[in-house]
C-alpha cells in the first residue's frame, strides 16, 4: 500500500514538473484575470494554415487565430465598453524583451475584418528556438515589426 501511495505521489510530482517546463503563454483579460495556455491547449483550438512572406520568402505557418486565444479571457466588448473600447490595446511580450502593441479596434471584429495568428509551426515543422515556441503572424503588414517571435504573454490594457 505504501509503495502505491509513493508511486502515485511521484507520478503527480513528475507530471507537475513537466507542465511547468512546457512552453506556456499567459493571456490577461480586461478584468486583470489571466489564463495560462500550454502547447496542448493550443492544439485543442481550431488550426489554420497561413501563407505569408518572411523577408521576401513565401512561407506557410500553422497556428490558431488570435481571436480564438483571446476568447479565453474577458474582452472590452459589448454595451459596457461601447464608449471606451477604442481606448484599449493588446500588449504582446516576447521572451527576449521585445514588445508590440495592437489597438483593440484592430482586433475587435465589430471594428475590422483582420485576422492575426499565433503560430507554432512553419513550413510543416515546429518553430525554431529562435522564433518559437509561439510567434504572432500579421498577414499584410509590410514591415513585420508586430510579427513577434518568442511570445510569452498577451495583455489587454487601457490607455490612460
All domains in the chain, ordered by first residue: 24-158 (3.90.420.10)
- pLDDT, block means (10 residues), the chain with 160 residues: 47 48 92 96 95 86 96 93 93 97 92 93 95 94 88 96
Q: Dihedral of CA 126/132/138/143: which sign?
A: negative
pTM listed for this prediction: 0.83
Contact 60, 50 (CB under 8 A): yes
pLDDT at position 110: 85
Beta bridge partners of 86: none
pLDDT at position 103: 95
Contact 67, 107 (CB under 8 A): yes
Cα–Cα distance for residue pair 1/4, rounded to 1 Å:
5
Long-range contacts of 77-83 (CB under 8 A, 24+ apart): 77/108, 77/110, 81/30
Amino acid at each position: 500500500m505504501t509503495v502505491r501511495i509513493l508511486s502515485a505521489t511521484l507520478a503527480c510530482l513528475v507530471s507537475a514538473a513537466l507542465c511547468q517546463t512546457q512552453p506556456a503563454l499567459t493571456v490577461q483579460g480586461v478584468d486583470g484575470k489571466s489564463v495560462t495556455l500550454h502547447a496542448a491547449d493550443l492544439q485543442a483550438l481550431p488550426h489554420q494554415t497561413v501563407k505569408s512572406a518572411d523577408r521576401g520568402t513565401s512561407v506557410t505557418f500553422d497556428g490558431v487565430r488570435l481571436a480564438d486565444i483571446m476568447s479565453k479571457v474577458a474582452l472590452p466588448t459589448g454595451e459596457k465598453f461601447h464608449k471606451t473600447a477604442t481606448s484599449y490595446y493588446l500588449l504582446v511580450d516576447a521572451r527576449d524583451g521585445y514588445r508590440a502593441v495592437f489597438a483593440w479596434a484592430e482586433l475587435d471584429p465589430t471594428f475590422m475584418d483582420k485576422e492575426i495568428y499565433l503560430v507554432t509551426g512553419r513550413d510543416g515543422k515546429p518553430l525554431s528556438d529562435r522564433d518559437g515556441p509561439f510567434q504572432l503572424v500579421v498577414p499584410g503588414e509590410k514591415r513585420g515589426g508586430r510579427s513577434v517571435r518568442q511570445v510569452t504573454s498577451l495583455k489587454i490594457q487601457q490607455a490612460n
